[in-house]
Amino acid sequence: MVSAGFAGGPQERPMTTKAPALFVGHGSPMNAIEDTPSSRGWAEVVARFPKPRAIVAISAHWVTEGMRVMSNARPKTIHDFGRGFPQALFDVQYPAPGDPALAGEIVRLLTPFGAQLDDSWGLDHGAWSVLVHMYPRADVPVVQVSLDIRRGPEQHYAIAQALAPLRDQNVLILALGNIVHNLPAFFRTRELLPWVQSFDDFVTGAATSGDAASVLNYGARADAREAAPDWEHFFPVFYALGARGDGERATVFNQDYQPGISMTAFGYGLAA
């Protein structure tokens, strides 16, 4: 599928609405098929901005050596979780189209980072478990961008800044992970440990004030080792922060805490 507005030069691109940049705590894949506070929040947030013409998704569940951009016209639904989940979850299909032309545009934007097209991936559960609630008709094209394991926070933030101009073409930047993600703690206790909220408050406070520098230096915090041991779930935060427009303040939603996990989401460019 080729989306209008990417095939031609700048003079051919129509004026469009500026899409938001969102970070979404995705949590368990069971949110895809259950009525939870988080899944309701994902369904409700889309009323706060016009429907995007495409989505660029950065999921905790696509980690690569080197930057990859999903180029599939018809991406498959990947059930990238182990046994123990119900068959109903494995039966979920999210047949959203890809956008090869947008994928090519992203590779050009990310040329300084060595980005390459990749048709081996699809939509992993970090993306589709959220998107089934945001756009249940699967009628918005989606292109996933991988997390390059070789890069540190500053480079991921720079990649997000390079992607930010796509927002002006009504392309939604959708980063998917969890601010707090400590699965051993989640399975070890039913108690809400204090570092879950303290670290979540630190990140959302910095996102609201635009203090990206503090978040980039998150490892200096005493609670970071417990709250964010899984870099791939935390680093998507940088993709929302880096796509922030001048003067934009974050709107926080889905602020739900669980033992070892926060389901918090925040976004820039959301209507009140």
Superfamily of segment(s) 10-268: LigB-like (3.40.830.10)
Domain ranges of the chain: 10-268
Output DSSP code: residue 134: H
Please give the chain's pLDDT, 272 residues, in tens.
333 333 333 334 445 689 999 999 999 999 999 999 999 999 999 999 999 999 999 999 999 999 999 999 999 999 998 888 999 999 999 999 999 999 999 999 999 999 999 999 999 999 999 999 999 999 999 999 999 999 999 999 999 999 999 999 999 999 999 999 998 887 787 777 899 999 999 999 999 999 999 999 999 999 999 999 999 999 999 999 999 999 999 999 999 898 899 999 999 999 87
Tell me how far apart the alpha carbons of residues 46 and 42 are, in angstroms, rounded to a whole number. Answer: 7
How much helix, strand and coil, in percent to the nearest 5, is found in the chain?
A: 40, 20, 45
What is the reported pTM?
A: 0.92
